[in-house]
Amino acid sequence: MSTRLPANQYADSGNLSARANLHAQYSTNPQGWGNWLFQQIKLKDHLTILDVGCGPGGLWRSHLGCIPANAHLVLTDLSPGMVSEAENVLPDKRFEFRVADAQALPYPNGSFDCVVANHMLYHVPDLDGALSEIARVLNPQGTLYAATNGVSHMRQLHEAIRLSIPEFAVLTGSFTLENGSSVLERHFGEVSVRRYEDHLVVPDADALSAYVRSMASVADATDRQLDEIEQRIRDQIVRDGSMEIEKAAGLFIAKEPREAEQGAEGDAVNRAP
């Protein structure tokens, strides 16, 4: 995963799992994010897929039986630990794995029918550079599926954090549901968005505390600040029985990659593995 986060934030799936577990346990939409996302991806025979920032491979592990036998999936992440975990849980001939930076993808022009970027583009320092690379490695009929959050995602929890850490800021600002279309339209001729309706109802203060402590945005917080946040969460759950938290997540579907039409053969040769 190309990232501006501290190197240890995604060294393995521990922090990511702490956040994913909260959503899995307490989301009100019974379909679940992973199932919804997978259904949006149009799988067909002989499809070639690049997953950029694949994490531990959970999206594909949960849907192995639905992937065509002759599909080819390349899972990449900037974190060697994440790539190793994905490879361990997906010992399947349809998959290959590689440590790679989204800003410099090691594949020739037009290599893939589909690119998936699941909640990772907002971590990339050079977002336009990464999108240019994604457009380049897609074939002219290829599709990018780029998931992200909106500005109101987890708003109530973030407000509780800011009472103790005024400078707290979420990391999605460079690529959100609100600004993603304008960013993607610089690299793709057709862009649409689909929203996933959901929210959290959390009666477990410990689960919320684990989520907060897993966040890169609080990595520099003091113990006193974290204790204050956790006590605030506990007080609300004691008072109300749970903490209700808004979610704003969705998926951009981008087609007609511009760089795919303009890419030079020399570049394709230079980037071949």
**Strands 249-257 and 188-196, sheet pairing:** antiparallel
Report how far residue 212's alpha carbon sits from residue 89's, in angstroms, rounded to the nearest whole number. 27
pLDDT tens column, 147-158: 999 999 999 999
In this prediction, residues 116-143 reach a mean pLDDT of 96
pLDDT tens column, 65-79: 999 999 999 999 999
pLDDT tens column, 37-96: 999 999 999 999 999 999 999 999 999 999 999 999 999 999 999 999 999 999 999 999
CB 257 within 8 A of CB 114: no
Q: Which of 209, 198, 200, 199 has its CA nearest to residue 235?
A: 209
Report how far residue 150's alpha carbon sits from residue 9's, in angstroms, rounded to the nearest whole number. 22
The larger pLDDT score, comparing residue 116 to residue 272, is at: 116
Report how far residue 78's alpha carbon sits from residue 68's, in angstroms, rounded to the nearest whole number. 27
Give the pLDDT score at 263: 42
Q: What Cα–Cα distance (Å) separates residue 194 from each residue in 96, 191, 209?
A: 29, 10, 30
Query: 3-class SS at 7?
Result: coil
Domains of the chain: 14-154+170-201+248-259 (3.40.50.150)
Is the entire prediction scored with pTM above 0.85? yes
Report how far residue 148's alpha carbon sits from residue 136's, in angstroms, rounded to the nearest whole number. 21
Give the pLDDT score at 16: 67
The larger pLDDT score, comparing residue 11 to residue 243, is at: 243
What's at 98, amino acid-wise? R
pLDDT at 257 over 90: yes
The stretches of the chain forming alpha helices (DSSP H) are 14-26, 33-40, 58-61, 80-89, 127-137, 155-162, 180-184, 205-213, 223-240, 258-262, 265-270
In this prediction, residues 159-169 reach a mean pLDDT of 94
Report how far residue 113's alpha carbon sits from residue 47's, in angstroms, rounded to the nearest whole number. 6
